[in-house]
Amino acid sequence: MKALPTTRAAQLAMPQRDEETWLIEGLWSAQAVGIIGGEPKCGKSFLALDLAVSVASGTPCLRHFATRQCGPVLLFAAEDGPHTVRQRLEGITAAAGADFHSLDVHVITVPTLRLDHPEQQRALHATVAGLKPKLLVLDPLVRLHGIDENLAAEVAPLLGYLRSLQRSHRTAVVLVHHARKGAAHERGGQALRGSSELHAWGDSNLYLRRNGPHLNLSIEHRAAPGADRLQLMLKANPPALALELMNQQPAESQPSARQRIEQILAQAKAPLSQRQLRDAARIRTSHVTEVLVQLVAAGRVTRSPDGYSINR
């Protein structure tokens, strides 16, 4: 049997530059797959369309989060008719101050799309290959399949297909999904309906909860700090109709994982273990490992039996 290929850790590809880390800064990572989740009627579709308009036009999402990469967007809105999709996109584009007629959003117009059917998987793959979108938005998950969402063995292949689509075509994927009834006091990811595979799958996840006339947005990333309970409101100023972040100062750039680990090591008075760095930076062990390999290779950090220390 042929052995699997390997490479030394220090020879693995270097990460993207910091400015390439984000699709929408602080909100959605570059080429990330993930979920916009929440209860019915809490603005999930409006938020997904706001991401679409921002990437297609290069304008800040929610009039706050800077768009770092822009390009075509591919959208399938299973529950809304074409006139509703157009009306919502026009309203959000007006709020963003962009030109609707030049908006680079492409809407899939088939009545149904079943991603548990191989032939429709191939059709979506071909569409993405032809358009090369920066972002693919699928809204909502429940209309995209006939599987049992509670069974990991059935959910995992569908999510695996979307992950392969992302990796093959370097496109971000937003999947709109519902939260369970009666899960208002659980963490956003734990409140999602169905298998825990859905929460684990996301690189960037956004969760919406209603609080009277306002909506609370929580942001979760696999490899960057998140945010909790940001207040949104659906604001109408005809022809504009869009979600907007309330009472917030302009977003500051989030430090990268590499910057955070360098800062922690620079402030440390003694070498730190990989576990100590993981706990201090609050990021996954795999990402800490990647960053440490890069820093050691670049001569910024020295590894000793006691741990890692910055080269001053």
Backbone angles phi and psi of 55, in degrees to 5 = -70, -40
Pairing of strands 135-139, 172-178: parallel
Q: What is the pLDDT of residue 164?
A: 97
As a whole number, the mean pLDDT across the chain is: 90
Q: What is the pLDDT of residues 65-118, one digit of tens each?
A: 999 999 999 999 999 999 999 999 999 999 999 999 999 999 999 999 999 999
Which whole-number Å values give the CA distances from 299 to 7, 58, 273, 280, in the listed order?
A: 20, 37, 18, 22
Q: What is the pLDDT of residue 48?
A: 98
pTM for the full predicted model: 0.75
Query: What CATH architecture does domain 18-245 belong to?
Result: 3-Layer(aba) Sandwich (3.40)
Average pLDDT of the residues in 290-305: 87
Euclidean distance between CA atoms 168 and 112, whole angstroms: 24
Given a cut of 90, is residue 174 above it in pLDDT? yes
Q: What is the pLDDT of residue 251?
A: 45
Best CA proximity match to 131, nearest among 112, 109, 98, 108: 108
For domain 255-310, say whether CATH 2.40.30.30 is its number.
Answer: no
Q: What is the pLDDT of residues 227-250, one digit of tens each?
A: 988 999 999 999 999 999 986 554
Euclidean distance between CA atoms 92 and 234, whole angstroms: 10
- Contacts with 300 (C-beta within 8 Å, 6 or more apart), sequence order: 262, 310, 311
The H or E element that residue 168 is part of is helix 152-169
Q: What is the pLDDT of residues 246-291, one digit of tens each?
A: 865 544 455 677 888 888 998 888 999 988 988 888 777 877 888 8
Q: What residue segments make up the domains of the chain, in order of their start?
A: 18-245, 255-310
